[in-house]
Every structure is written in C-alpha cells, then in structure tokens.
Amino acid sequence: MREDAFSWIGQEPTLELSAPAWREWNRNVESVLRGIAHALNNRAAALSAVIELAGDDDDRGSTSSILKTELHKVRDLSAVIRTLGKPRQGKEAFAPREAAADAMLVLGVHADQRERATLIEASNGAAVRVERWMYVRALVTLVASVPIGGATTHSVKVEVVEDGDWVVTRAGAATGRLADRSDYTCELARAMGGEALDDGYGFRLPSLAMLRRLD
C-alpha cells in the first residue's frame, strides 16, 4: 500500500470531472431517459386497459390489482428521476446495500441494460461515509461499463466487501481490459475520497469504521 494511501482523508474533494467522464455520464443519462419514455408508454397502455375494465363490476378486483401495480411502477420511475436530478449535497453514513437499491432502479430502466441481469451483493458490515448520490451513480456506471459481448457479460455481479480499512466495490464480470474502464466511476471514486482498482472494474473507499477512528 502506498505511504500516502490515506493522505486525502478528512479533505473536502471538489468534483472536477474530465470531459470523457462527463460524456460517459451523459450517454448513460440519455439511455435512462429512453428507458423512462418506454416505461411511461407501457404505463399509459396499462392504464388505458384499466379504463376499459372500470365499467364492468365483475372486473373490479382486476382493476384494483392493475392500478396498484401501475402505481408502484410509476413511483419507481419517480425515484429514478430524482436520482438523476439535482443531488442532495453532504456526506452521510450508510450501508452500500441501501444505495444498491437506488442503483438497481436506475439500471432497471436503462435502455442498454434492461436485458442484462444485475446482482449487487454487499456484506452486512460494510459501511461508508460519502455523498450518497456519488456512490449510487458510481454503481450505475460501473455496471454499464462492463462490455456486452460474450455469454458471461449478459449478467453482472457487483460485490461490496470490507477489506481492512477499505470498502471494496467490484464488478464480478470484469474482463481486466483497461480500455473498458469507466472514467466516470474512477473519477467519482477519487471525489469520494477513495480510488479506482487497478483493473478499472471497481473502486475502494475508506470504511466508516476507519474514518471514525480518525475523527
């Protein structure tokens, strides 16, 4: 480990991303927006079916069930839009498995990721203190950066584990090709006070336990 591995701990990093990183994030946002548009069209079709059923007393149970399902899906879309919108500023302590749920909602409507099975597993003890929106977006772009080409890349497994003073987030379908690394994920990792893994398919952050020892 480098002697200066924790030299930036306690500092307030500024989010200054490179042009390639911004372009990468914009491509992901565009794909998510396409996915949202597709999902909204599906919701409109389902609600049209509800209107047709509404006049039939025998189908009240079906109508209620459809409405509840569609309401839940619309709420999920609203959550995705909030995630892509202006982020809430300020660091907070949280378990990565909590943020993983937000990332999965975004990936669920990502036009280029809908057909890909994604699993994010986080150990119970892992916890960090960073800006939550940064971690969520880093997860999204980490999964999206794994190239689709072979059978193994139709599914992506992300594991979040404690490793000493670090919380390591790694994509399990990594190919190890540096050319495929996510500039956005790597630069966000640095902005969160951590660093990208050498192979580019993940990042590590100082653990909450270690930060508390330094406070």
What average pLDDT does this structure show over 119-133?
91
Q: Give the relative orientation of helices 96-109 and 132-145 as an angle to the nearest 10 degrees.
A: 50
Residue 181, both tokens: 């690394």
Sort 92 into a burial class: Cβ within 10 Å, 0-12 / 13-18 / 19+. exposed
* pLDDT per position as a tens digit, 37-95: 888 877 777 777 777 666 655 566 677 777 778 777 877 887 888 777 777 788 999 99
Q: What is the pLDDT of residue 100?
A: 92
Q: What is the pLDDT of residue 79?
A: 80
Confidence label for 211 from pLDDT (cuts 50, 70 and 90): very high
Residue 112, both tokens: 């280029």
Q: What is the pLDDT of residue 168?
A: 95
What average pLDDT does this structure show over 151-178?
75
User: Which of 151, 71, 143 lies closest to 104, judged by CA?
Assistant: 143
Q: What percent of the chain has pLDDT over 90?
A: 36
Could you tell me the CA-to-CA distances from 55 to 52, 64, 67 in Å, in that order?
7, 13, 14
pLDDT at 157 over 50: yes
Cβ-proximal residues to 196 (8 Å cutoff; 6+ apart), any chain: 181, 185, 186, 189, 190, 202, 203
What is the model's pTM? 0.77
CA 167, CA 122: separation in Å to the nearest integer?
Answer: 10
Domain boundaries, the chain: 14-215
CATH of 14-215, one of 3.40.47.10, 3.30.565.10, 3.40.720.10, 3.30.450.20: 3.30.565.10
* pLDDT per position as a tens digit, 95-107: 999 899 999 999 9
- Measured in degrees and rounded to the nearest 5, phi and psi for residue 173 equal -95, 20
